[in-house]
Every structure is written in structure tokens, then in C-alpha cells.
Structure 1
Amino acid sequence: MMLIQNCRSLIVSLFGGLLLGVGCSPVQQTEIKVEAQPVEARVEGNVLVGPGVLNDTDRFVWGGSVVKGYDGKYHMLYSTWECGDSIPVFTDSWVLHSKIAYAVSDYPDRDFQFQGIVLTGRALDGDSAAWDAQTVHNPHLKMFNGKYYLYYVGSVDPGVQPEGSKGENVNKRNRVQQYQKIGVIEFDNFDDLLAGRFERSDEPLLAPRTRVKPNNIVEPSPEGTKAGPDNIIVVNPAVVQRPSDGKYLLFYKGNVYDPSWRGIHGVAIADSPTGPFKTTDHIVFDIRLEDGRIASAEDPFVWYHPELERFFVVFKDFSGKITQGQPGLALLESVDGLEWTRPEHPFFMKKQVVLTSGDTLKVDRLERPQLLIDEEGNPQVLYSACAIVNVNPRQDGASFNVHIPLKTKR
């Protein structure tokens, strides 16, 4: 019998299953094994269809965030926007047209039914100057203290930039992209959300402090400014409450250029889920390449496992340097939520989906990971934006959200 000291770790297999090693000092090592299960779906044209996916023939469907509500139902908020010949291709349309929709199910991993659009850019309501006038995107749904919280990304077009400025040649799509910030909406229930019975803040919850880029940048910071982790944009919010002090940690992505683009992450801290959040200068998820530059990543989902006494993050690794294998979904762990390291096996999931037919489908996109976590801190379902084909040049709505069940074994 092997005895180990402080043997808490989370181990992920290269095939999409993960092992949660549990231990204390001194005890016999035990393991919790969480394996990706087949998805109830089939290939139809360029998309997956079936109970285990959410798609829409009239819209692109992207990242979705799910909670088991106070009513026992499973509630999803997700990014969506119209498709068709009159809409720009995916790589532009998400920036210019994204909205947030609501779906609900009696089950965590299937049969989500569209209920309605719950949030749009405020320009559609006549307020073209609001910080989130143009677009709302990448929802992150949380529950704290009997309330629901919708964290989201919003943006507005700051307008054509002055002649001779670093931003004079930046087009509308890229101006909107460079002006993204994070907001939050607090609401009591999903009937209220559907009916619009909530307040939208006139100010974002979090905004970037620096705007550093060599060229083609809207409203750049003064020359010599050092870029922080919240550089140019703050997007893709992930919020968790830290048990040690009750603080709320808001993780986000910014952009740096050295000279090419890289996704970098920071954290802001508050006493309340609605802020105010104080941004730190600390870089999180700080994994470096051989040349010392940061390994580019995005789309973090962070949770705390009470038995393992660890924070974990799953996010998209562009290069394969974080997974130590290939591009896909990577895993890191942390004791305090600030300093993050690789576990023994940092590869969370390959870009593939196993179907109930037994087929394994390789996909072009598997990102925006959001997890349903049970009361013990174990992942139950992975919800991911997905596309079989390269969706960037398409106008036909060839993207969807896939719900991958995860099975836990002791």
C-alpha cells in the first residue's frame, strides 16, 4: 500500500478522460476518473444534429454556459447570430452581430430548447453610444447567493479614427473587436431575463487599462506604456469565488503583440459578484515557449474542487505547448487562483467528438469550453462551441454547441 504526502492533483488522459487524484497526509492514494462519453448526435451535412447538440438552421450557434438552476432545470445562455447571404462571413459576423440567447432542458447533456434572444447590442434599442451597443458575446452564467449572474463581452464602434493616427486604417470590424469589454447582469430568474426585467449598467464591469500595439490600433496608449494583461481588450470572463477569503476572481483574456498576436490572461478581484473588480498586474496561466514568449491561449473556464483544495482551468491552447501535445483543450491547476502550473498530464481533450454510433469525429473547432460542475467539484458535462469544417469563411451557420457528458468513477 503506497502512502503519499499531500497527494492532491488532477490528471488528464490524452484521450479526453481525466483522473482526479485525491489524498491527504498521510493516506492511501485514491482516484476519481472522469471520462468523456459519447454524444447523442449524427453528422448531417457540415454540422452535427441530435439531442446532444444545439444548432439552428437560421443562425450561427457558438459558446454556451449552463447551470443547474434553483428550480432544478438546466439553463443555457449562448452566443448566436443570424446567418445567410446578407450577413458577413463568420469571422466578421460574430464581432458585428452576436446576440445572447436562452435555452432550457430537463437534462444536463441533451434536449436544450431555444426560448428566445435575451440580450442584444443596445444600438438595436436606439442607444448607439452605449459601451455594448454593437455586440454582446461569450456569456458566462453563474449562481451566487440566490441570484443569477450573466457575465458577457460587449463592444461598440468608436468610429473612424483621425487621419494620421495609428488607427486611421482600422476598419469597423476591427474597431469593434478592439473595443471589447466585460459586463454583468444580475437577475432573479429566467422568466425575468426573458421578459427583460433586469438592469444593464451604463459602464462595463471591466475595461482595459492599456492599449499597446505597434500599429493599426484605436486610441493607443502613450509611447513607452508597458502592456498589462488587460491590454486592448478584456474578454471571455470566467468567475469563481475563492473559499479562503470569499473574494470573487474574474479571469479574462487580453491581447499582446511581440510582435505577433498572443492571448494573455489576467485576474481581477472583488468582494461582490457585481464588483467593483480591481485589476491586478499579475499574469495568470503563464506558460512560456522556449524563446520566453507566452504560449497563446483563450477561453478559460475556472472552478474550485473542494476535496482536492485546488482551482482548475480548462482553456484553448493554440499551439500545443500547454498541452505538451497538440492544439486542443488544456488544463492547469492552482492553490490560490493566482499561480498556475501544469498537472502531470495537461491535455484535457483533443479536437474530436465520440458519437453514440461509435464513430470518432475530428473537428476543426472545439473551443469556448464551459463545464457543469457538481456539488463535489467534479465536471459533469463539457459544453463547447464546435465546427466540423473551417467556419471562418462561411455564411451558412455551420457551427453548433456540443454537449459532451463526462462520467465519474471511483
Structure 2
Amino acid sequence: MCGVRRAGVFLLVTLAVVGVVAGAAGATEHAPAPGAAQLGDEGIEPDGVLLRADLRSNGDARWTVEYRVRLNDENTTAAFESLRTDVEANETAYTSTFAERMGATARAAENATGREMRVENVSVRATRQQLPQEYGVVTYRFDWTGFAVASGETLEAGDALAGLFLDRQTTFVVAWPDGYATTAVQPTPDERRDDAVVWIGPTDFADGEPVVSLSPTASEAEGGGSATGATGGNGDGGDGEGGDDTTDGGPSVLVVAGGALLLVIAVLGVVLWRRSQETSRADSDADSGSVPPAGSGDGSEAAAEATATGAESVDADTGDDGTVEAAEDAGPAEAEADEGTPDPWEDELLSNEERVLALLEHNAGRMKQQAVAAELDWSDAKTSQVIGKLRDAEEIETFRIGRENVVALPGSGLS
């Protein structure tokens, strides 16, 4: 069975699981994101899903739901091309179904929080991207009004999704406008950026989580904010409306709202699968199925590991041996990158191993290990662990020149 079709079938099973959880108003179980359920004997799971909420100062949010599939064989590539053609020709058919189901999710959250909410401006597109491997990407975007609480100058988000569960293929990003800083974040995110926090599945949010409290002036103390985040209030205590609604609505109601979001995501996968099947049959291949989400290559750790420190940090220092200069030629290569396009290793859905491979490929196939750690903002221990996995899988080569560890892609000419 083609990987695209099997992943689509997997989402059908996920849909059934999510529907059961979302329908149990008093349930304490958390609804699984796509990929959380097991597909019996098939053992198939989506490659990855990105959920991103970009908050606005008025409490609205611009949402992105992104699915990816690795185009690593002819059947999968043909199925995605059929899907992309259908999306371009029938965009309204995709967006109307998504808007209807996402609207139901917003209404459930509205009932739970007491805030008026709407889903507007839904769009969809299907593209192919090099990350550096080639992926098919289906992206939905929409505005969710009233998603966060805007009280004075403070923002608090998360109560509309209380009790959300992320499986290991899913990444959830909450970003905010310039001029804000966190006063409380719960639970502890896997990654903090200047303008966002990131949770990487598997993550099981408790009732009343996630919480992201923001202020234009206050800055969250190092390791602090847990007491505020646990209650769902913000650092200034000015978020009475949002906090009271969360408490009055009850955790079980909010869990249903979180489950409803995942129901929409699962249904979307089903729609993509069915449409891809129809177009594939028209093209004569009954074994070509759908497009599920995608992101991590090995499924071991969905990736949202962090912002690069800047092109000039790739390898600013000189080595002990002149032969290392080849590893230092990466600077000009980075300078030639498109300024408007994010660096490929910054992609939120790449695994740690894929980020290293993308970085090496961008820098002539070899770098100092220390430069890899600096560019990815990783600790030496984490860098060594990831590079060790790649070396064991024979995807990279490592050697020493003087006191420097050098990492290279096979065939780069340094080994």
C-alpha cells in the first residue's frame, strides 16, 4: 500500500478515536492529535503536523495548520501532484469543509470560555519544498477571532485548547507580536524564542494548559512564572475575565474544545485522502492514496529545535590547521541565501538529524562540530548525541584535524 494512502487510512482511524473523546463531555482523557492512535497491523503514522498560532494584540490569532509528506518514491510523488492539482482547481471545496468544522471547534471553545469567537479567511495551498529532502506540503491558514484574552495591554492564550494532546509527530507553536514578553508559560515549553514558545510532541497538556501570558513590559523571571501559569492568570493579575471563564467553564468542557480542534485536523486529513484517491483513480493508479502530514524523517522526535544564531556564527574562528579552511567557507554560502526565505535547518518540522544534514548541505558538505552546535544553538552534549546517531547510520563522516572535530557528508572529499 502506498505510504500516502496508508497514512490517510490512519487518519480515518484517528478521526474515530478523536470523535469518541470529543463526544464525552465528562471525560478526563485527552484527545489525541493525528498520529496518536495505532493503526492495528499497519503501524502507520503521519510524518508530522505543525500547529501555529500567531497572536495579535487584540486577542485574535492567525492560525497555520501544515501537513507534510516526504516525496521519496514515484507513487507518493504522483499522488501528491494529483492532490496539488485538485487543490488548485477546487480550492473552495477544501476551504469550505475546513471552515465549517473549524467553526464548530471555535463554537465549542466559545461556550467553554464565554468569549465570542469566529473562524474567518480560510485559505489552502499545496506546494513542494526542499528541506533539504523534498516534501509535499499542504497548508491551511485562517483567522481565529477571540482566541486569546486581551485585557488592557496584556494577552493570555491557551484556554481555548485546554487539555490538548500532541503526539510525537506534532509541533505546536504560539507566537506573539513585537514588543511583548512572557510573564508565564505552562507547561515548560521545549523551546523558547524571542517571539514564540514551542511544544514538541508527545506532550500531554493538563486541564488549564497550555498557558501563555504576555505583557508589553514585564519579563518572565528565569525558571519562574509557574504559579501564575498554573492558575491561568497573567503576571499583572489583569486577566480576570479570561481566568474566571476558564474556571467557570470547567476543565472537562475545555478538554472537549481541545479535542474538537484535533477532530478538525483529523477530518482534514481524511478529506485530503479521499480527494487524492479520486484524482489518482482518474489517473489510473488505484494504489495512490492521500496526503497526510509530514515533518520528521524518522518519527523519533518531531523537530522544532530552534533559531539559528546567524550566518556569521557558522565558523568565525580559525582552526589549528590550514586544511580546515574548507569548513570555514560556509560564511559566503550563507550570505548568498535568499534573505526572504528562512534557512532550511530552521524548519520547525525537521528532526534533529535532518537539521544537521540540511546545515551541512548548505555549507559545502562539511563543518566543524563546534560550528554546528553554535548555529543550531545546541549544547555540546546534544550535538554529540545527534551527530553520533548520524554517524552510526552512515549518513555523515567525522574526523579530527588538530583539536577540531569536523563533520562531513559522505563524498565531500575530506575523509
TM-score band, normalised by the shorter chain? under 0.3
Larger radius of gyration: 2
Q: Which has a greater percent of strand?
A: 1
Higher helix share: 2
| TM norm structure 1 | 0.23
Normalised by the length of structure 2, the TM-score is 0.23
